[in-house]
Amino acid sequence: MTPVLSVRNLFRIFGTACSRCFDGNDEICGNKCPWCGAIVACKNISFDLYPEEVLGIVGESGSGKSTLLKILYFEEEPTSGEMFIHLTKRNACFPGEAFMGSVDAANVLSLNSYQKRLFRNHYMGMVYQNPFLGLRMHISAGGNIAEKLFMAGFRNIAKIRERAIYLLEKTEVPGNRLDESPASFSGGMQQRVQIAKALSNVPMLLFLDEPTTGLDLSVQARVLDLIKSLQKEMRLATIVVSHDLGIIRHLTTRTMVMKDGEIVEAGLTDQVLEDPQHPFTQLLVCSTL
């Protein structure tokens, strides 16, 4: 089976990089290059994501997990590296299908910014830890979803509205609050609107960046259940970034552990959590309450 997403040798270096930043040798302790002082946020990242798979990325803050996710979502330019996406045909009601046929098997990081935007609008969804990043707070909840659908090529306003109501109901946001702005919603509701927005274009790739950090326990549980059931129902290939091992265990089948910009360990989630190999992972697992 071909992976939906393949990432090869991805680097993201902040500052002026020297050639030795790329060597990936072990002399570099931490993520600061001792020769030129540049910060290596992502160091030689390679992995595959398969259809319907949920991949977890864990690591402490500053390990580069969010930077990696931002690169995948085209929000950040990598310093070097390649990313391939294999498209599968979707429902014919989704516009813009024809355009995308041509980019299959090309390094999508080398597309121009217009193509990247199209790609993101049609095929990707992102849920941020902070709803302010994913939503326009002073546009109605329905408008937020409509915006994404509009960018994904939907033009029929009645259909857009119908879909927005459907999605909000799926994410347990009362349909009668469609026309209110998320600024007046609680944190948990904002997060659910964000999920509705991220899922509105039926993405092929769903990225979750600490989706429930900062929510209280019962809301966190509901949001997690929601993500899990929608992921199963829509068969989304998903990447979850979190520092909470409970969430990783709950949502993912495979996990990568990042430290100082590098993937130090990868495996089946239960194996990584029960039989961690790398010193950092052992420390991480031992630190769980």
Partner 1 sequence: MNLLNVDSISKTFTIHILSGKIIEGFKDVSFTVPRGTALGISGPSGSGKSSVLKCIYGSYLTTRGDIWYESPRFGRLNLTRSPLRTINQIREMEIGYITQFLKVIPRVSALDIVSAPLMEAGAFRKAARSAAGDLLEQLGIPQRLFEAYPATFSGGEQQRVNIARAIIKAPHLLILDEPTACLDADTTSVVLDILLALRKKGTTMIGIFHQPEILARFSDAIYRMKTDSDRGTIQ
Only segment of 10-18, 119-127, 136-144, 276-284 that touches partner 1 (CB under 8 A): 276-284
**Cα 98 from Cα 89, distance rounded (Å):** 10
Q: Closer to partner 1 at the Cβ: 54 or 85?
A: 54
Which 3 state secondary structure label does DSSP give 113? helix
* CB of 253 vs partner 1, minimal distance in Å: 6
* CB of 182 vs partner 1, minimal distance in Å: 25
* CB of 259 vs partner 1, minimal distance in Å: 13
Residue type, 85: I
Contact characters 35-54, partner 1, x per CB under 8 A: ---------------x--x-
Question: Which of 17, 275, 284, 288 lies at the binding interface for partner 1 (CB under 8 A)?
Answer: 275
Cβ atoms of 84 and 6 closer than 8 Å: yes
Subset of 206-225 contacting partner 1 (CB under 8 A): 221, 225
All residues at 6 or more sequence positions from 220 whose CB lies less than 8 Å from its CB, including other chains: 212
* CB of 279 vs partner 1, minimal distance in Å: 4
**Cα 268 from Cα 113, distance rounded (Å):** 35
**Cα 282 from Cα 191, distance rounded (Å):** 32
Subset of 59-78 contacting partner 1 (CB under 8 A): none
Count of residues in contact with partner 1, rule CB under 8 A: 20
Question: Which of 175, 184, 283, 288 lies at the binding interface for partner 1 (CB under 8 A)?
Answer: 283
Residue 162 binds partner 1 (CB under 8 A)? no
Inter-CA distances, 81 with 43, 45, 103, 107, Å = 10, 8, 17, 9
Measured on CA atoms in the order 31, 37, 39, 42, is the torsion positive or negative?
negative
All residues at 6 or more sequence positions from 82 whose CB lies less than 8 Å from its CB, including other chains: 7, 8, 9, 10, 107, 109
Question: Which of 24, 62, 214, 267 lies at the binding interface for partner 1 (CB under 8 A)?
Answer: 267
Question: Which of 274, 284, 288, 289 lies at the binding interface for partner 1 (CB under 8 A)?
Answer: 274
* CB of 46 vs partner 1, minimal distance in Å: 15
What percentage of the chain's residues is helix, strand, coil (to nearest 5)? 40, 20, 35
Token pair belonging to 52: 């319907």
Q: Closer to partner 1 at the Cβ: 138 or 232?
A: 232
Interface residue list for partner 1 (CB under 8 A): 1, 50, 53, 221, 225, 250, 253-254, 267-268, 270-271, 274-275, 277-279, 282-283, 286
